[in-house]
A and B are shown apart, each in its own frame.
Chain A
Amino acid sequence: MLKVLKSGFYTSVQDLGRFGYRNKGVPVSGVMDHISVKKANSLLENKVTDAVLEITMTGPTLIFEKSTSIVMAGASMSVTLNNEPVRNYKIYQVHEGDILSYGKLNKGFRAYLAIKGGFTTNEVLSSRSFYIPITQVNRLKDGDSIPYDGYADFIPKISEIKTDSFLDETILEVYKAPEFDLLDDRQLESLFSKDFTISKQNNRMAYQLKENIVGLEYSMLTSATLPGTVQLTPSGRLIVLMKDGQTTGGYPRILQLSDKAISILAQKREGNNVSFKLI
């Protein structure tokens, strides 16, 4: 077990997501920044679907109860293992009683802790990703224990990767989404020439942007949405749906983020800037 001494601001178990139930209204969920997680799981020679901890803004303090190997990824935070600083995308062996402690957030917003073999919490509807009401909780609390299998003698093929960080990138590459053609020149001009600020309303369900553009008064029938869909409301608000976002919606879908852009946005917090670029 991994014992949670302090849970941090919003720490949850996530895997790649919960597929096959969208037609019953179940969001995909899963890690917000799949690029960072993929690298971490690869280093550990894990399956791409292995579950990790998603750590948001303020990290936890954790005690390992079995030997294994771990990799930190995603946001840059000051992390120590038994008071020694550790870095992202490098394999560390841990043993019973070792303490991993997250400190200051330096860059990005969501850090990940991957573990050899993945965390082995229960699967619900074929996924371990936390999401209420599919799972009973949506985040860890102090005193929780998260199960994992011990790996005493894992010898990795590669112990560290130098990786190009995209934490500084601010350009979100987007595709035209189904209602894109409803936009007029003025709306297009504002969408693609301005920077937008991440508003206070940002979480795993959606990121709302602070600056409004001219709204769209269009009455459409409710239709499917995806993580990364940018909706435009009648009042001109831009809402980017994320991994826990609802599966259908009634606002015009004007843009769709690329997979990479979803990861870039997932590392942004209130006050950060982004811009859209059509591909």
Chain B
Amino acid sequence: MNHAPIKIKPYGEHAILIEWPNMVDENILDSIILFDEYLKTHCLPKGIWETVTAYNSLLVVNQVEKVDYITYKKKIGEWYANIEKGSKREQLLWKLPVLYDLDFGIDLEEVAQKAGKTVSEVIELHTSHVYTVYGIGFLPGFMYLGGLPKELEVSRKSEPRLQVKKGSVGIAGKQTGIYPQDSPGGWNIIGSCPIPIFDINKEDPCFVSVGDKIQFQQITLAEYNLHKIETEVGIYKPEKIVLNA
């Protein structure tokens, strides 16, 4: 595999930013994930360093001390030449249940109208595509998903809502995603996911990682309620498929 060139930039006293070409691209994301894994396994020990990956960048942060940029710039350049020695992380496809109905998907009809589709066509389009997690940020467990079909690109609401319910599935522009907690928001809400993407009671509080894939699955109200209860008692396990097994 050909890995795109990187740019290394200083970022304050504790961090260094590594940038790939400025585009949303699966191959670039693959290089970032591979390099992230290589750095964490071979170069930057956990507990001292942490990393934040997003779209075309990888931030390395030293939690303990200040970093010498010149030294690490050189090291990172050398490490990147070894990227292929890194082991590929499991790539997972998560199938996330979503209840698309007019009670939860409060903007479903408006979205259908804006897109010139029927409500069932909107649901069909939203569930038939596989999305890529390009970043997690903004709020704990908030996924930046790429891959929304063009037909579903509708503008965000002109007035943001003061409160969007936790679990709400929204679309806006080229983006789709799930609100991980109650928060203000301007996305069009088309459904609700009954299982939390972020759960502080779990050792790994967020089962999704950058680079994973997401597909939404339509469920009934009865299944929605069941998953809610399963989540409350801690027995719900999201369905996953290992893609590069």
Contacts and interface: CB of A to CB of B under 8 A. Distances in A.
Interface of A: 19-27, 124-125, 133-134, 175-178, 220-224, 226, 228-229, 246-249, 253, 256-259
25 contacts: A19-B50, A19-B63, A23-B52, A24-B198, A25-B136, A25-B137, A25-B138, A25-B206, A27-B140, A134-B200, A177-B12, A178-B9, A178-B11, A221-B54, A222-B134, A222-B135, A223-B19, A224-B59, A224-B137, A229-B12, A247-B138, A248-B138, A249-B137, A256-B11, A259-B14
Interface in B203-219: 205-206, 209-210
A224 B142 contact: no
B12 A228 contact: yes
B138 to A, nearest CB: 5
Contacts of B144: 222, 248
B139 interface: yes
B71 interface: no
A146 B42 CA distance: 41
Nearest to B182: A133
A107 B100 CA distance: 54
A175 B12 contact: yes
Residue of B14, B54, B206 with most chain A CB atoms under a 10 A cut-off: B54
A70 B201 CA distance: 33
Contact of A221 (B11, B22, B138, B210): B22
Contacts of B180: 25
Contact of B15 (A27, A134, A226): A226
B194 to A, nearest CB: 17
Contact of B200 (A133, A247, A248, A257): A133
A23 B66 CA distance: 20
Given A23-B53, A221-B54, A248-B54, 7 more contacts: A20-B46, A24-B141, A25-B140, A25-B198, A226-B12, A246-B139, A248-B138
B236 to A, nearest CB: 19
B196 to A, nearest CB: 10
A223 B50 contact: no
